[in-house]
Amino acid sequence: MLATLTIRLHLPACSSLKEKRGRIKPLISRLHREFNVSVAEMDLQDRWQETMIVCAMVNSDAVTLRQSLQSVAKWVEANWEDGQIIDEKIEII
């Protein structure tokens, strides 16, 4: 099974794409390192103050996937201070 966590983020202090990527890149690296998930910026690359990142995991158990991605979402809510979460969604395929 494949599961994805889509997180839409708002970065109110960013005034350029370079600054936005400077704030997003450490988040993506940390999520990959801490949770062993694949992570990428998937949408809104041309907007200064918004972005959408997607985390993906593969496992044979849907419950494990959902719990793992919920942990990722909770970690982002608690630890990422460069902006705020606008929306998040977990999908299991």
Per-residue pLDDT of 60-69, as tens digits, reads 999 999 999 9
Neighbours of 39 (CB within 10 A): 21
- Geometric angle at alpha carbon 62, from 61 and 67, rounded to 5°: 105
5-43 pLDDT tens trace: 999 999 888 888 888 888 889 999 999 999 999 999 988
| Residues recorded for the chain | 93
Structure tokens at 79: 């630890």
